[in-house]
Structure 1
Amino acid sequence: MLCTNKTISKSFFGSSRGGEHFIVIEPDADLDLAGQIEDLERRYAAARRALGLAPGSAVFRRVFLSDAMTQAKRVSESGLAMDEDGSPVALSLIQQPPLSQAKIALLAYHVDDPRGLRKKCLTPRHVLIERESLVHLWTTGLCCGAEDAPIAVARQTRNVFDSLIAVVAGLGGTLRDNCVRTWIYVKDVDIFYNDMVVSRRDLFTEQDLTAKTHFIASTGIEGACAHRYDIVVVDAYSILGLAPGQISYLNDFDYLCPTQDYNVTFERGTRIAYADRAHLMISGTASIDGAGRVVHPGDVLRQLDRALENVAALLRAGNATLNALMHLIVYLRDPADYWRIRTALAERLPDVPAVFVQGRVCRPDWLVEVEGIAIVGQEAPALPAF
């Protein structure tokens, strides 16, 4: 683990090739945007050196922006947009103001493979990583690109998912069988979230994603891209070549109700098993009980405790604990809660890299939401290698 004042990382090493590394970096908030980009790049380069990461090992980077319309272009033209060796990186640029008071913050994911990663830019929004028998598709920034006129939220939702479905189909897959994680960002979530939910539910039914089959692990949260009239933006992660038994779904009904009980369609968590490890994708999780009710309204610290209890329950369902978390993203409705939440989380999970951003949750009574990825080792030689 690497930990400095502005940089924290966590790594996992399985018995097969392929160390995985998650890095969170905050630049110096006293600098202007150009200075913060430069400072972030410098700190990031130092972190890669400290971790011994080879050029070409970067898979995914999410840059959180305080103002996407004025910042996204400059970040996309920086060194963050590609790897050190010039190979592609899945770059997600999302307006969710960092609560450290910096203009930008970074979450980066690297896979260090002695043989190098086989990466391909399929389109500007889709990067392929080929490993062993599997193809990992990282999708970032799917939106309508609405600059000149508004488009209905239902149509935007349909358009972005249709785009994802077409790309996955072109690789021989389907949304139902191959997409394992989505992040859905909704501008003005208090107003437009329900329109997205209804449109997604209708589309999922068409794709045979139902309560009788399964849904997709997901976070639906406030966020925005750089286009003036875009309301819905989607990032996604899909895996082609999955074997039977690799995917399972996480829940604990003593703690959390099925999502369809309150008319939303996502999995609480998804477990992806490999020969030597398992990835546990934890969806956006808030202070909710087994009946779907908000727990501890008005008390952000107790809501954090309950959200983490819920995450722990999901992880137990996948034979993991909170210590297996590789990173967290913490979404706060009210920036004034930042320091109390940051201090509480540092006491509870001091070794987990965390990004803290402003992001309203889908119900106004939820003051905090968390999501993350956990990795645990296992021995299942019949499954594909990571």
Structure 2
Amino acid sequence: MAATFWAPHLAAINHGSILSMDCSGRVITKSFKRSTGGSEHYIIVEPPADLGLTEQVACLERRYDETRQELGLPAGSAVFRRLFVSDAMNQIPLLRHSRLTADEDGSPVALSLIQQPPLSRTKLSLLAYHVSGAPDLSKCRLTSRHVVVEKNGLAHLWTTGLCPASDDKLVPATQQTRQMFDTLINTLDGLGGTLRNNCVRTWIYVKDVDVFYNDMVTSRRELFLEQGLSAETHFIASTGIEGACAHRFDIVTMDAYSILGLAPQQVSYLNDFDHLCPTKDYNVTFERGTRIAYADRAHLFISGTASIDSAGQVVHPGNVSRQFDRALDNVEALLRAGSAELSTLMHLIVYLRDPTDHPRIKAALSERLPGVPTIIVQGSVCRPEWLVEVEGMAIADNEDPALPGF
């Protein structure tokens, strides 16, 4: 079920020197509810665009709190939050003191902070993921970058903000990519897992993607071969897109999601070769999508998807509206391969190269996916000819009692 809430004027918000403000803003949520395994909730919050940064943070905190109350989400139910910001180097230090980036009552939350300016003209936007109604769920923080969520015999590792954290030295993007993946590999090894068997999804943000994307791809390809990941085995669902963290000399930043304890029969990969070619055809190592099946549901992770055809060519060059339609058609084909459909999307992120395309894409989204929580940010795609890319996550019904429960 999806719902959009619009707030009236709210007064007397106690946030520093702020006494009152109009905290209207955009909030949209979607929940997948089951009596077993718990319910899952995705929340997108955008504050009013006409406020300063401090006021926007205060409004976002307030609207997020209200939304959790409306959904009946208890403290400690938050698993993951991503904040999209317009100026990471200046904004993230302030956000570090916000409740948006804090753990909840000692219950850790995986936090991603990434510079991808929201195109709703706000300085920041929030995507949050919560799990409720699961009494067996527990969380622990391994490091500042790694949170483990244990549930029903599985350990879900959320990794966020992997980067060199360098403000005084520039190292090659190939080396930075290797460093990120080595950190993830070592963490998985400490938990008894491997990159090949347990990593489900990565998000790789590349500063100046038109220049440095190929360096990241080259380094990742070499590392995957070392880890036993190939076209003959499988790759990992991924998005590689323009983005930046708060460190001056960091070119590459990564978030990742891994699951320890997965049974092989739970994992399948999503393709539709009538719509999209295999990624190996243009020497890039990621899966178009990955499906994780549980007894009562399936999670479908859709990688960054653009206007591409079965021959690997850009479709509709120069026309962002038609490229967006083709990208959604490709997503629909991938979901169909996993026994799901567009209506099962829990959230969608849209990346635009040109911010002036925002109004027409916003209108197209309202028409085609009116009930899906969506966020539109500025982020150049790996090929300059691609004007738009989309990614998302879907949850669909699945009836297979032989599989582990979520």
**For the superposition of Structure 1 and Structure 2, which TM-score range results when normalised by the shorter chain?**
over 0.9
Q: How big is the shift at 1:297?
A: 0.3
CA-CA distance at 1:15 after TM superposition:
4.4
Q: What is the aligned partner in structure 1 of residue 196 from structure 2?
A: 176
Indicate if the aligned counterparts of 1:55 and 1:83 stay in contact, CA closer than 8 A. no
Secondary structure of the residue aligned to 1:154 is helix
Contact 1:56 1:117 (C-alpha < 8 Å) held by counterparts: no
Tell me the equivalent position of 2:29.
9
Residue matched to 1:287: 307
Secondary structure class of the residue paired with 1:272: strand
Shift in CA distance, 217/38, structure 1 to aligned 2, threshold 3 Å: same
1:284-323 correspondence to structure 2 within 5 Å: 284-323=304-343
Deviations for 1:130-175, whole angstroms, at most 9, x for unmatched residues?
A: 0011000000000011111101110000000000000011000000
* Counterpart residue number, 1:101: 121
Matches within 5 A, 1:155-304: 155-304=175-324
Matched, 1:36 2:56: yes
Residues 75-110 of structure 1 show CA distances to partners (whole Å, capped at 9, x for unaligned) of 122101234423110000000000011100000000
Quote the Cα distance in structure 2 between the aligned partners of 1:155 and 1:353. Answer: 36
- Secondary structure in 1 matching 2:394: strand
> 2:74 aligns to what?
54
Q: CA deviation at 1:181?
A: 0.0
Deviations along 1:10-46, one digit per CA (max 9) or x if unpaired, are: 0001341310000001011111111111100000001
Q: Structure 2 regions of 5+ residues with no counterpart?
A: 7-25
Q: What's 2:14 paired with?
A: none
Paired residue for 2:379? 359
In structure 1, distance between residues paired with 2:169 and 2:182: 20
TM-score normalised over the length of structure 1: 0.99
Cα distance in 2 for partners of 1:385, 1:317 equals 22
| Amino acid corresponding to residue 275 of structure 1 in structure 2 | A
Q: CA RMSD in A?
A: 0.9
Please say if residues 181 and 237 of structure 1, whose CA atoms lie closer than 8 Å, have aligned partners that are also in contact.
yes
Structure 2 partner of 1:328: 348
**What does the per-residue CA deviation read over 1:176-222, in whole Å, with 9 as the maximum and x for residues that have no partner?**
00000000000000000000000000000000110000000000000
Q: Please name the residue that 1:346 is paired with.
A: 366
For the residue of structure 2 that corresponds to 1:121, the secondary structure is: strand
Indicate the percent of aligned positions where both proteins have the same amino acid: 68
State the Cα distance separating 1:117 from its structure 2 match: 3.1
Deviates more, 1:167-176 or 1:11-20: 11-20
> By how many angstroms is 1:67 displaced?
0.5
Q: How far did 1:4 drift?
A: 2.3
Structure 1 position 114, deviation (Å): 4.5
Cα offset for 1:243? 1.1
Counterpart residue identity of residue 100, structure 1: S
**Hey, what's the Cα distance between the residues in 1 that align with 2:389 and 2:405?**
32
Contact 1:307–1:369 (8 Å) recurs in 2: yes
Structure 1 distance, partners of 2:405, 2:246, is: 38
AA aligned to 1:181 is R
Q: Which amino acid aligns with 2:4?
A: C
1:75 aligns with 2:76: no
**Deviation (angstroms), 1:290:** 0.2
- Aligned equivalent of 2:18: none
**Which AA in structure 1 matches 2:157?**
L
Once the two structures are overlaid, the 10-residue window that deviates more, 4-13 or 256-265, is: 4-13
Deviation at 1:116, TM superposition (A): 6.2
* Structure 1 contact 22–326 (Cα < 8 Å) conserved: yes
What CA distance in whole angstroms lies between the structure 1 residues aligned with 2:240 and 2:264?
A: 28
Q: How many residues were matched structurally?
A: 386
Worse-matched range after superposition: 9-18 or 241-250: 9-18
- The answer for unaligned runs of 5 or more in structure 1 is none
Give secondary structure in 2 for the equivalent of 1:3: strand
Which has the larger displacement, 24-33 or 60-69? Answer: 24-33
Contact 2:340 2:396 in 1 (8 A): yes
Question: CA–CA distance in 2 between the matches of 1:303 and 1:33?
Answer: 33
- Do the aligned partners of 1:61 and 1:90 also contact (CA within 8 Å) in 2? yes
> What TM-score do the two structures reach when normalised by structure 2?
0.94
Spell out structure 1 runs of 4+ moving beyond 4 A.
Answer: none
Report the AA paired with residue 212 of structure 1: E
